[in-house]
Structure 1
């Protein structure tokens, strides 16, 4: 076969091949409309899903592309402006400005804490001393005398406070401590003597009711698993002021313990009723 014969054979093959269907303008437009409709439907579904997920508080939203949007940190609650804007500040200090935290560092409440400290030192029994902190007190040692006035809550529009004092009590080589805590009238602590006693620092133990005149005092004579203190008494005055008085043979792990507790159980109960701790 020469070149001319080859060209003729190719022309016959092309002539015999099936021709493609003619281009239809109407068909092309119809296909385009269907594609656009599919895209609109997909976006509408995605928008509805996003609304449903937002209302339900879910964290992930799918897009038509198959991507997933997930806010950082998981589902986010919508803040309530009224809740944050109306948060009650700490009580005002003597300068008229709100305190930095619950603890009073000046003013009448602070002075009540100092008064309580002085009263506790005054009841240390004979044969014991109440040592003061040295000027060069090591930072890792428990302070020997502490006092604190702390804001607790506002009840019926009245600010309620508590006052706490811890005093080291020494005899010979041993050092223990006496702790007194007083809560303002209006507090929500229990009334029953032993239920009240078991509220002190959340500690439990074997409790008995001691009579001091007409007063009934709850005294935990033996602690449970929590041995921060050895014994404590609790009394609610008729006006609602609550007094806790506690004692321990141990001050901390760095000092030897006392050989015995400073007060007997009746003496501890009597201190809870003592007017010197009845702060108003």
Structure 2
């Protein structure tokens, strides 16, 4: 095959590929913002996925662009401009000094991350367990419980944070996971329930609106091409705090996945509204 024949073949292959459905402007901009923040966190904290797992042991999560995101990594994170030098100091830690990176390792924000982890463990339903990590866990094995408090941005002079916790949920030798992510009031996430739900990690999917009491919750009941998680709910409280609750039948490729997800769709929607996850 000569060069011209190769180019013709590639053009035919591209023409036969069905393009993805168009995204709304709001969802696209939201996904881009989220992916940008995750990439900044990634490149400063990773030399490679193997190095991160060996050093921190935390549960890696793939971002929409197929990189690895550490939900609760201990390594340094990037500066706002990606250069390694901050234009202004990171938020001040409890010692009165600027943090060394985005992750709070002490103080009130760190404590909220721990609180979120404990709340996720507390809602694991009967018939499932939330196993803890063994004392001598291999460095290359995914951590079963993680938490992180991460500085997102400064809006009108006020620091805005997000909090993420991931908990392995088991039934016998089968393991899935439940994830909670909370964003401070003042965030720039969408308002409409399904637009908010589809903005989670930039993922898309089949969304429906569930009514919980007097409020509406967006729930992605079936993911699109991105199948890292199976279902997730999203709710914006009246004060602007955003809560995501997600569940996946599979934790990683080393363990068999759950046969049934821990929560029904109405239960997942109700958890997003639950005051236990309304961090303030």
Correspondence for 2:249 = 249
Query: SS of 2:195's equivalent?
Result: helix
Deviation at 1:96, TM superposition (A): 1.0
Q: Deviations over 1:171-212 (max 9, x none)?
A: 022000000000000000000000000110000000000000
Deviation at 1:85, TM superposition (A): 9.7
Aligned length: 197
The change in CA–CA distance for 1:229 and 1:86 in structure 2 (over 3 A counts) is: closer
TM-align CA RMSD: 1.3
The change in CA–CA distance for 1:103 and 1:85 in structure 2 (over 3 A counts) is: closer
Q: Deviations over 1:230-261 (max 9, x none)?
A: 00000000000000000000001111100010
Correspondence for 1:21 = none
Q: Computing the radius of gyration over CA atoms, which structure comes out larger, 1 or 2?
A: 1
1:111 matches 2:104: no
1:218 matches 2:218: yes
1:236 matches 2:214: no
Correspondence for 1:180 = 180
CA–CA separation in structure 2 for the residues paired with 1:85 and 1:230: 38
Unaligned stretches of 5+ residues in structure 1: 1-83
Correspondence for 1:264 = 264
Query: SS of 2:250's equivalent?
Result: coil
Q: Relative contact order (alpha carbons < 8 A, sep ≥ 6): 1 or 2 greater?
A: 2
CA–CA separation in structure 1 for the residues paired with 2:183 and 2:86: 27
CA–CA separation in structure 2 for the residues paired with 1:182 and 1:228: 19
1:155 matches 2:162: no
Which stretches of structure 1, 4 residues or longer, exceed 2 Å deviation after superposition? none
Q: Deviations over 1:114-134 (max 9, x none)?
A: 011001100000000000000
TM-score for the superposition, normalised by structure 1: 0.69
TM-score for the superposition, normalised by structure 2: 0.69
Correspondence for 2:275 = 275
Deviation at 1:157, TM superposition (A): 1.0
CA–CA separation in structure 2 for the residues paired with 1:162 and 1:205: 23
Q: Deviations over 1:66-95 (max 9, x none)?
A: xxxxxxxxxxxxxxxxxx998111101111
